[in-house]
Amino acid sequence: FQLEKSSAVELYTYLTLILVCVLLYIFSDYLKICALAFRLPGPKSYPVIGNCLDIARKDLITREMAQAYKNYGPLARVWIFVFPMFVVFDPNDLKVILSSKKHTNKSMFYKLLHNFLGRGLITSSGHKWSSHRKLIQPSFNIAILEKFIDTFTDSASFLIDKLPKEETVLNVTEYVNNCVLDILNEAVLGVPVKSVDKKEMEQSPFRQGKVVAPYRITHPWLLFNSIYKLTDAATAELNQKKQLDDFSRKMIRRRREILKTLSPSDRRCLLDFMIEISNENPDFTEDDIIDEACTFMLAGQDSVGAAVAFTLFLLARHQDQQAKCYEEIERHIGTDCSKPPSAEGIRELRHLEACIKESLRLYPSVPLMARKIGEDVRVGKYNLPTGTEIMILPYATHRLEHIYPDPERFDPERFGDGAPHQNPYAFLPFSAGPRNCIGYKFAYIEMKTVIARVLQNFHLSPAPGKEEVQPIFRMTLRARGGLWVKMTPRKVVS
């Protein structure tokens, strides 16, 4: 009996050792990543939840992100639940990661956006991302994009019509966001601003999009889909996704009919291009069109809206820069608001573009991005193993003093014609490398057109008592309480 008992103990011991070895093998990469995380500096974290609650901190942007490089150096760690992530700040290190096609996969946390954005260019990875990018890229040729200037102009003129005709102090954020949505409705979905069905578009689900990813991160047990799908938040998000899909499908059916009679001189929209792609490539399905349309509509709203609003706010605070922009507008576009600007005229607004870029440096619309390392990478004196989750903070990188002296100062000359060559990985409002934003040229033309139209019609000055910015983070950057500007109508030719 003793021998049998001894044999059983040995058997259990061997099985336990085998199980431990198997688990160590399975989790070896995770354990290596955790071991590295414990060696690196980073913000104070708590057991199990890590740094999840930091997402809700009011000073996350102004204190933690802005001071991160000074506090932690070129490489830091954060914990999202029990998952370590590494924050890379230095442009030279970022170049190694962002310039390589081996590191194009998005972080696992982008899956939290699937029910919001779908599985389009922002959230997809691997073959789906690379094939969609290759198919859609020709539609963003500069010659095609400049044809949207009339759409930008119509929407900007519609914005001007809504603004008060007397001197007033107002929050420009809401006005600008509505203008950007009007642009996207026509440029992406093909619903003209001038002939829009107001009732239909006011009920558009793209006006009511709500992202719940930050909520799930601050409640880390909801990171598990098996738990999250039991919540009211999940039900609401899925219902929102269904409304977005149904509305997009309706727009696709409408554009398919319009394409049958569309003449070469008629305005086209991105749906038209994607329908043609789908007709020629069966692998690019209608569901893929919907995913990409949702991506362009939702990602293009807050990001461009915030950039335009911040630029107007900063130009109001810096009269010398506003004067240079207005002089440039007078020279290349004129003050006759009845005439749409030409593509050449918009291209020549170089100082205005520099002001937009400096605004994006100070207040990048997307202050946080994430990637998954495809192979081992050396960052400084540390080796980041394959599978490591990387976090990129443009808000922090844009404030590196050895690249941007006096980083809190608004200085468009950093991006002027005579500025020294800039490391492309030191300026990341639209990311960089193979996975940069496909629509960044579209965004610059759009922003220049809208801001030029506003400056043609209004002189901007600071709103008394509302001169300071309190940036907050909710997937995109925004200002707590809005961005307030005093707007004085100019005497213009019309």
Q: Which of 443, 449, 437, 448 is nearest to 136 (CA)?
A: 437
Whole-prediction pTM value? 0.91
The greatest distance separating any two alpha carbons of the chain, rounded to the nearest whole angstrom, comes to 106
pLDDT digits (tens, 9 = 90+) for 16-40: 666 655 555 555 678 888 889 999 9
The H-assigned helical ranges of 260-416 are 270-280, 286-317, 319-332, 343-347, 350-362, 394-397
52 labeled part of a ligand binding site = no
Residue 485 host element (H or E)? strand 484-489
- Which pLDDT value is given to residue 493? 43
pLDDT in tens, the chain (494 residues): 555 556 666 666 656 666 655 555 555 678 888 889 999 999 998 888 888 888 877 778 887 888 899 999 999 999 988 889 999 999 999 999 999 888 888 887 888 788 777 888 888 888 899 999 999 999 999 999 999 999 999 999 999 999 998 999 999 999 999 999 999 999 999 988 776 556 666 668 887 767 788 888 888 888 888 999 999 988 988 898 999 999 999 999 999 999 989 888 888 999 999 999 999 999 999 999 999 999 999 888 889 999 999 999 999 999 999 999 999 999 999 988 888 899 999 999 999 999 999 999 999 999 889 999 989 999 888 999 988 999 999 999 999 999 999 999 999 999 987 666 778 899 999 999 999 999 999 999 999 999 999 999 999 999 999 988 889 887 789 899 999 999 999 975 44
CA angle 243, 441, 86 (to 5 degrees): 75
The H-assigned helical ranges of 53-148 are 68-72, 91-98, 114-117, 126-136, 142-145
pLDDT digits (tens, 9 = 90+) for 406-443: 999 999 999 987 666 778 899 999 999 999 999 999 99
DSSP per-residue string spanning 16-60: HHHHHHHHHHHTHHHHHHHHHHHHS--S--BTTTBTGGGGG-TTI
